[in-house]
Structure formats: structure tokens, C-alpha cells
Chains A and B, each alone.
Chain A
């Protein structure tokens, strides 16, 4: 018999339950995706899930860990869904499979498995694949009914602004790519992630610090540029509703394993990430900055955490 000490009672909670809530919170975004871009995404999600669970099982076996216990924690499934949603839905199937395998095998298990990875596995996969296959990773579907292949709205905007006399307004007049707020169709997906994220907040799976600091800083930075030179810099609304902003704010930067853990640390982490996202989007060469911002900020996590330890009871003001 295993001996155990107090406390003898526990809150009914588990890693599985936490991960399950994250998966549920992703559903509104996926639903919007299906509605705007067709059911292809579901195949992607399935493909990534199967790959992730398979790789997870292999690695657990190789590492001599109990299979059933760790497979049922659903953490691999969360990684898989994030990859499916972050990768372009028209990229070849092997891109998804390779990316997922890299995330699980290299970014997760080679670093020690659940809870040990310093980098967000899904973002490691995205970063590797976009560096290795830039063109395949840059082609996105446009919303139904056109369903033509194009660059992301953010990419389109940046390329479009290079032309002389082009303004944000003239580029965004292209109704095939742009909708009311941001990319056509994408704004709905972002809305779906926002809804799911708010539910995660309400469920206390995540705290308000990272989403608020990220979205707030992104609004401030993009707002400053927009106010200064509205013709060349898109409005904060576009930045909030385009690309991976919402997915990042609620599902990626909030990954507890690779993010900061102290309240002040979370604010610094998310604010710096927002700044990086904006810089990479507007002045960089990649379609979106969420993945690189995540990885760059992951590196800073130990330092930020160390410097932002909250004062202990009775030691305040000391």
C-alpha cells in the first residue's frame, strides 16, 4: 500500500481535465474555420492528432513511461490541434505530419516530456517548417466561396504597401482577401478563438495577465504607428483580428509550461511578445510573428521569472 500524508482531500482536477478544457475552448475557432473555409481543416486536425498520439506513444515507450497514464493526459492532442490551426490548411499533408512529429519527438520528449519543454512544441514545429519550406508554409486558402490560394492578409498587406502610392486603404479594398475588420473569413476564426479564450479565463484555466498584456500592447503599438501614419500602417483592429493574434493571446502564449509563471512576469512576457509580433509582422519577412515571438520570449522566461518573484507573506516592502 502506498503511504501518503496530508492533505487527504483534493480538488477534483487533473492534467487531463485542464487539457480537455483547452480543446473545448478551441472548438468555436474550429467551427468558424469550417464555416468560412470548408471542412478541410477537420482532416488536418485528425491527421495531426493521429501523428501526435502515435509519436507520443512511441516516445513514452522508448522512455519507459506508463503509456495509458500519459496518453490520456491529452497534452499531445492539444499540441496537435494547435499545429493544425497554425499551419496553412492547404499545405501538403506531409508538412503537417513532419511538423507534428518534430513537435512531439524533439520539442517535447527530447527535452524531458510533459512539463519539461522550455519551448512551445507547436511553435517550434511552425518555426522549423516555415524556415525549411517557406513557400509551402505561406500559401493560405481564402474564404469560401472563392477558395483560391493566396498569401495571408498580413502578407498581402505588407507586399501591397511596397507599391508606390499604395495605402492601407487601397490594399485592403481587395475584397477577395480582406473583410470588414481583417482578413476575410479570418476575422471570424479570430472571433471564435476570442470566445473560447474568454471561456478559458472564466474556467480559471488561464489568468487574465497574458491575454490582456498581449492584446493591450499590440493595440498600443499598432495604434501608435497607425495614428502617426495611417496610410502606411494598418489599424489596431486589423492586427488584433488577423493572423495568430487571438490564437496566440489565449492558447499559445498562455501555455503554462513554456511561459512565465509569476503575475508580473506574465505581463512582461506577453507585452514583449506583442512588441515582437508587431515588429516581425510589419518590418520582418515572415507572414506572421507569433511563432518567433513565442520562441524568443520562451528563452527569456527563466530570467523574467527570477526577477519578478512576488513578495512573500510578511516580506512585502522589504
Chain B
């Protein structure tokens, strides 16, 4: 019946040497047969999403399966202790990534007892689906195909579209990797148990398990387990062996004919895709109550006996690879396959949830690439691209740092599968150019975002300063008129016979204030508004005896300065600064007024022009 299913195909793809035979001759080495390493280093961040918060600290005793990192919000996933023992430290350690960056990790020294936490199975059928999802989040279940996306986030049908097809990815197209193959051969029943739970949570109508046709044993095993369950809605489909048939989008295309564009969720098209390892982990987490603390890892490459191991997370890679017989000439480890894998920065980095394969690499196994030649636009890369991109055009523009143009050629549709680099006759590391362009674009976007934030902050600050200035000047204007009112009262009492010079002094004082804060718009408005009424209130009268007048003026000015100083005392710091400045200026103005009075006296008959 499966033979009748119509399969679709994706364009491009390549057929590299598979190197899968060596590690499939022997069954998986079970957990019990692998000795405990002297120390486990468990990175807290092992999935896409939020960084889990540490729940233990140095000196704590932990049990196997105990949560040591709690999920940070819903888009995150918990992390657990791989064995019982003592927490030696919670500190940054080199992570399993080419960059060699560090990541907060829990260092656990095993006590050798390997003592489990109580692991009650979950009666998931009686529970709310959301409670099951939370359980999976706290059990640390993430996608084990390599993307380590939190699984509970994906176990939800699209809002608008009911889920038609659940695709289970057992294609495993990368060379060397056989962990899914062995898992399907040996634990098909458990995988189907997990699939049943996922189907239930998603409400999927049919389940298609896609397995590349170079794994006949795995296909037979899955079909036998299906028959044993008597479940006709789960079909195992052999798909043509062609890298990257195991890419989620490629497999969905092959099995259903649906092309999920970049940036869209497959659930919007009624499809969801999980790896077989994830199905197994879900079954373990729910039916056995065991959180995700181990996975199957292929150890291959430059080792005496390539094989699959069930490995606890946090196990140092070199400890594991030595079990398979590390050979001379190994220059480093590659995590993942030769097409998309990462070179490890050190041999002792820990096995994490994303570790499906460790390849001991040597120059004999992976020769350094021949020298890079110019692109001759032969188009091999475009023919190999499973996403129908024009890799040589993207290379051209990435090289010129013309990142806008690279995006026009759909850079972000690139899945970095490496097919283009694999076929390039000029040996151009094309994928590196795309990684470079992507990080540059992300960096620019981040910078632009922070620049935007800074701009908003700056504008808010400017506005606040403006507002404060305005308020200050309004206050000041109010005070000035109050002072003036008081001053005129004082004038009336002290020198009723000499209104002219008094007015002059007032005007001078107002001018002094205007000069003290010439930029404040409120004040600039206030000064002319306050000055003219007094100017027009009394016409310039005959001049009083000069010396006396000058003395009076000085006295009034001083009194006013004193009054102002007293009035300003409780004002803001800026006002204080102004107050500090004002006595000198006032003194200068007073001197000027005295000088003018003397001139006036000499001129005697001509009225004083009040030019400042």
C-alpha cells in the first residue's frame, strides 16, 4: 500500500558518500554498558529559546533526572542532572560550538550510585493538553534532529488550519550519522508510542514516517511495530536517498507535496514535523516519567569501531569517543555530519541534546579544501540547491558586502545544507559567505534597533529639558512680577519724590535678568511683557539731584537683590546657579547706573535716553 503513495520531489540535492555502514553493524551500546565519566558538564542552555535559570548551586547533591535548570518562560526547556552526585560548580564552560564561547554549565561529580528521582508516569489522557505540554517543557524534551527546538511549542495545531499530516522524520540524510537508523531498528515500539501522544496533542489525521530507502532494516522494523499496534493511520514511507531529504521542509515536500516557505509555520499548511528521536523522548518523558537526560549518539570517523551509544548529556566528547577507540591522527571532533556539522573548539566539550553524531576528523578523512578559484558561473550550485536559490549570485553580492542585494536573492531562505559548496568546481566556501552575510545583516539590524532606541531616548530627554526650562521660566516670570510689586511698594515708601531713577533701576534689573538667561524662551517672553507697562506708566520726569538719586538707585537695587535672593532660596538648582551669578551682574549694572546718573547731572537739561 505504501508503494502506491505518490511521492513528490524537491529540486537539487546531492548524493555524497554515506559512510553509514560502519556504525550500523553493531547495536546501540546501552546506557548501562557505558561507564560514568569522572565529571559531567551540563550546559544550562541546550535548546532554542530562553536560557534556563539554574536551580542548584555548588555543593548541592542532585539525583538523576533532577531538574537543574528551570525553563525561562514557555519558549524554553528545562535541563536535568544526568546522574546522581555532587554539584561541584555552576560556572561558564566552553560550549559545543565552533566559536569556543562559554556557557553557564552545571558541573556534576557523579557519586556512582546513579540514583533516580522518583519518575511517575504521566496519565496524559486524563490531562489538559496544555498540562501535557508543560510537562514536556519541564522534562526538557526538544527536537533531537539537531535543531533542538522546544517540542512542546510545536505540539499545537495552527490557529486557522486543522492538522492534517504529522510527518515523522527518520530520513537521516547526512553521511556518517546513523543514530536515528539504529533507534528505529531497535526501539520502533517506543517511537510509535511517542507518535501516538503527538498525534493526540495535534489532532493529526494521518502520520507519515519518512525514512530514506537506504535504511531497509529501520523501515521493516517500523512497519512490524505498526502492524503489532494495529494502527493503520501510521504509515512508514521509504523516500529516495538524496541529501538533504531529511531537512524538515524537504521531507514535508516529498511526503505531502506542500512547500512551506521561509518564515511560515508548517502548521499553517496543516503539517507538523518531528524527528524520530523526539518521538522516542516524548514517549520516555510521558509513559516512563523520565526527563530527557540522554540520547543516541553516533561515534564515527577516525575511530577503531564506529558505533552508536546511548549517552548522558554532559559526558565529555573525548571520554565517549575513547570508548570507540580513538585513532592516531585525529585533529578534532565534528559534531553532526560532514555536510552541516560544527568543528568543536576542544575535545572535552560535553555531549548535548543537539549531538547526534561525533566524527573524529583527520586530514585523511576530510582533506582541507583545494585553493579557492574564481566563480565561473557554471550554475552547478543552483542545480544542487534544494531551495531553488541562485547561490553564485548570493556569493557575488555577499563578497561585495552588498547585503541588500543578497537579501533580494532570498538569502534567508538558505538552509545552509552545504550542497552548493559540495558541488562547486571552484571550491568556494559558499555557505561561509552566506553565514557571514546573515550575521552581518543581523548585526546591522541589532545596531539599527539600538540606534532607534537611543533616538527615542534622546528625543524624550530633549522634551523633558524643554519642559523643565519652560516651567522654570514661568515660575521665574511669576516671581519677577511679585518682586516688582513689592519693589513699587518699597518705592512708594522710601522715595516717593524720585520715580524716574527708580524706574531706571527696575528696567536695568529686568535687563540683567534677561541677560542672565537669554535663551530661555519663557523668560524672553516674560521680560518685555513686564517691562513696557512701567515704561509707559510714568513719563520721564525732571531729573532729581544726581548724587542722591544714584545713591537711592543703588540702595533700591541692593534691596531688590536681597529680596530676590531671599525669594530664590527654595528654588531649583538651576535657579541657584542664576542667583549665584546675579550679584556681580547687578553690581555692574549699579555701577553703570551711577555712571549714567553722573552723566545726566553733567548734561543737566537734556533728558536721559535709556539706552542700555
Interface residues of A (CB under 8 A from B): 2-11, 13-15, 17-18, 66, 69-70, 73, 75, 113-116, 207, 256-257, 261-262, 305, 309-316, 318
Q: For A257, what are the chain B residues with a Cβ–Cβ distance below 8 Å?
A: 376-377
Stretch at the interface among B127-135, B346-354, B378-386, B587-595: B378-386
Q: What mask results when residues 12 to 44 of chain B are scored 1 for a CB within 8 Å of chain A, else 0?
A: 001011000000000000000000000000000
**For residue A115, which residue of chain B has the nearest CB?**
B374
State whether A9 touches B339 (Cβ < 8 A).
Answer: yes
Residue B119 interfacial (CB < 8 Å): no
Q: For B16, what are the chain A residues with a Cβ–Cβ distance below 8 Å?
A: 9, 11
CA distance A5 to B253 in the complex (A): 28
Q: Which of B335-385 contact A (CB under 8 A)?
A: 336, 338-343, 361, 366, 368-371, 373-380, 382-383
Q: For B338, what are the chain A residues with a Cβ–Cβ distance below 8 Å?
A: 6-9
State whether A14 touches B427 (Cβ < 8 A).
Answer: yes
Asked if A115 meets B376 with Cβ closer than 8 Å, knowing A5-B432, A14-B427, the reply is yes
Q: For A315, what are the chain B residues with a Cβ–Cβ distance below 8 Å?
A: 261, 410, 413
**For residue A69, which residue of chain B has the nearest CB?**
B371
Asked if A256 meets B262 with Cβ closer than 8 Å, knowing A4-B369, A5-B98, A313-B387, the reply is no
Asked if A313 meets B413 with Cβ closer than 8 Å, knowing A13-B425, A114-B373, the reply is yes
Contact check: which of A11, A114, A316 meets B259 at CB < 8 Å? A316
Q: 25 A-B Cβ contacts within 8 A?
A: A4-B432, A5-B98, A5-B343, A6-B334, A6-B342, A7-B339, A7-B418, A7-B421, A8-B334, A9-B338, A10-B369, A11-B422, A11-B423, A14-B425, A15-B373, A69-B371, A261-B392, A261-B393, A309-B390, A309-B409, A312-B262, A312-B388, A313-B11, A314-B262, A316-B259
Q: For A261, what are the chain B residues with a Cβ–Cβ distance below 8 Å?
A: 377, 379, 382, 390, 392-393
Question: What's the least CB distance linking B505 to chain A, in Å?
Answer: 80
Consensus secondary structure, chain A interface: loop
CA distance A49 to B413 in the complex (A): 44
Question: What's the least CB distance linking A58 to chain B, in Å?
Answer: 18
Contact check: which of A75, A312, A318 meets B413 at CB < 8 Å? A312
CA distance A2 to B361 in the complex (A): 15
Residue B320 interfacial (CB < 8 Å): no
Contact check: which of A3, A11, A113, A312 meets B389 at CB < 8 Å? A312
Contact check: which of A9, A11, A14, A312 meets B175 at CB < 8 Å? A9
Q: For B410, what are the chain A residues with a Cβ–Cβ distance below 8 Å?
A: 312, 315
CA distance A257 to B371 in the complex (A): 20
State whether A8 touches B373 (Cβ < 8 A).
Answer: no
Q: Which of B416-471 contact A (CB under 8 A)?
A: 418, 421-427, 429, 431-432, 435
Interface residues of B (CB under 8 A from A): 10-11, 14, 16-17, 98, 175, 249, 253, 259-262, 264, 334, 336, 338-343, 361, 366, 368-371, 373-380, 382-383, 386-390, 392-393, 409-410, 413, 418, 421-427, 429, 431-432, 435
State whether B373 touches A314 (Cβ < 8 A).
Answer: no
CA distance A316 to B388 in the complex (A): 10
**For residue B176, which residue of chain A has the nearest CB?**
A9
**For residue A65, which residue of chain B has the nearest CB?**
B374
State whether A10 touches B421 (Cβ < 8 A).
Answer: yes
State whether A4 touches B377 (Cβ < 8 A).
Answer: no
State whether B340 touches A7 (Cβ < 8 A).
Answer: yes
Asked if A9 meets B17 with Cβ closer than 8 Å, knowing A314-B259, A314-B261, the reply is yes
Q: For A316, what are the chain B residues with a Cβ–Cβ distance below 8 Å?
A: 259
Q: For A69, what are the chain B residues with a Cβ–Cβ distance below 8 Å?
A: 371, 373
Question: What's the least CB distance linking A71 to chain B, in Å?
Answer: 12
State whether A313 touches B386 (Cβ < 8 A).
Answer: yes
Q: For B374, what are the chain A residues with a Cβ–Cβ distance below 8 Å?
A: 113-116
State whether A13 touches B423 (Cβ < 8 A).
Answer: yes
State whether B371 touches A5 (Cβ < 8 A).
Answer: no
Asked if A6 meets B377 with Cβ closer than 8 Å, knowing A11-B423, A14-B425, A314-B413, the reply is no
Question: What's the least CB distance linking A220 to chain B, in Å?
Answer: 26
CA distance A17 to B427 in the complex (A): 12
**For residue A318, which residue of chain B has the nearest CB?**
B261
Q: For B368, what are the chain A residues with a Cβ–Cβ distance below 8 Å?
A: 2, 4
Question: What's the least CB distance linking B247 to chain A, in Å?
Answer: 10
7 closest pairs, A vs B, by CB? A314-B261, A7-B418, A115-B374, A8-B366, A314-B259, A313-B387, A8-B338
Residue of B334, B376, B389, B423 with highest tally of chain A CB at under 10 A: B376
CA distance A143 to B374 in the complex (A): 41
Contact check: which of A4, A17, A318 meets B425 at CB < 8 Å? A17
Question: What's the least CB distance linking A116 to chain B, in Å?
Answer: 7
**For residue B430, which residue of chain A has the nearest CB?**
A7
State whether B341 touches A6 (Cβ < 8 A).
Answer: yes
Asked if A256 meets B376 with Cβ closer than 8 Å, knowing A9-B338, A14-B427, A312-B388, the reply is yes
**For residue B385, which residue of chain A has the nearest CB?**
A313
Q: For B425, what are the chain A residues with a Cβ–Cβ distance below 8 Å?
A: 13-15, 17-18
State whether A262 touches B422 (Cβ < 8 A).
Answer: no
CA distance A304 to B129 in the complex (A): 54
**For residue A70, which residue of chain B has the nearest CB?**
B373
State whether B261 touches A313 (Cβ < 8 A).
Answer: yes
CA distance A310 to B380 in the complex (A): 15
